[in-house]
Amino acid sequence: MLLPSLANGACLTLASHPDGATLSLLALPAGDATFAITYVHSVTRTPVEERYRNSGSEIIESEIRFEQHGPGLPTEADPGGTFARSDGRFVVTMDRHFANIVMQVHADQSPRLSAGSRSIDLAQWGNRALTLGVVADPCTAP
């Protein structure tokens, strides 16, 4: 499913991994370079929200929120970050930079990518590995 650009903002790209075949494009709203990935943790079965922002051709993870500790979740802050509790959730701030993110998705975890008012079910292509990337140009069909 390709989603056309609504504004001249950056474009998130979802591709099959490892072959790189484009699966979907999601335009970031003009003036808002933030997006989130949400899912249910595979062990604790509680919600996790990872927050990101686009910076040119780079993805920056800025925060992760979760209710219970589980494998793969932070137990302390990165240098310069914070580790706190707010409204019954752990809130960890960070400044992690990625050219792209490879993730394994599974329908049981209800993985979603959200930007502005748009949201994509990341398991719609089956239980598999995906690569999330970003390009500075507006989204256009390949």
Q: Establish if 1 belongs to a structural domain.
A: no
Answer whether residue 71 is part of any domain: yes
Residue 140 lies in a domain: no
- Render pLDDT for 54-98 as a digit per residue (tens, 0 to 9): 988 899 999 999 999 999 999 999 999 999 999 999 999 999 999
Give the pLDDT band of residue 109 (cuts 50, 70, 90): very high
Query: Any idea what DSSP says for residue 30?
Result: T
- For residue 5, being part of any structural domain is answered with no
Range of the domain at 16: 11-135
Q: How many CA atoms lie within 13 A of 114 on its CB side?
A: 12
Half-sphere exposure of 13 (CA within 13 A, CB side): 21
Instruction: Label residue 42 by pLDDT band (50, 70, 90).
Output: very high
Domain count, the chain: 1
Q: What is the mean pLDDT of residues 8-30?
A: 89
- Measured CA to CA in angstroms, residue 108 lies from 7, 21, 113 at distances of 33, 24, 15
Does residue 142 lie within any of the structural domains?
A: no
pLDDT score of 16: 97
129 in any annotated domain = yes
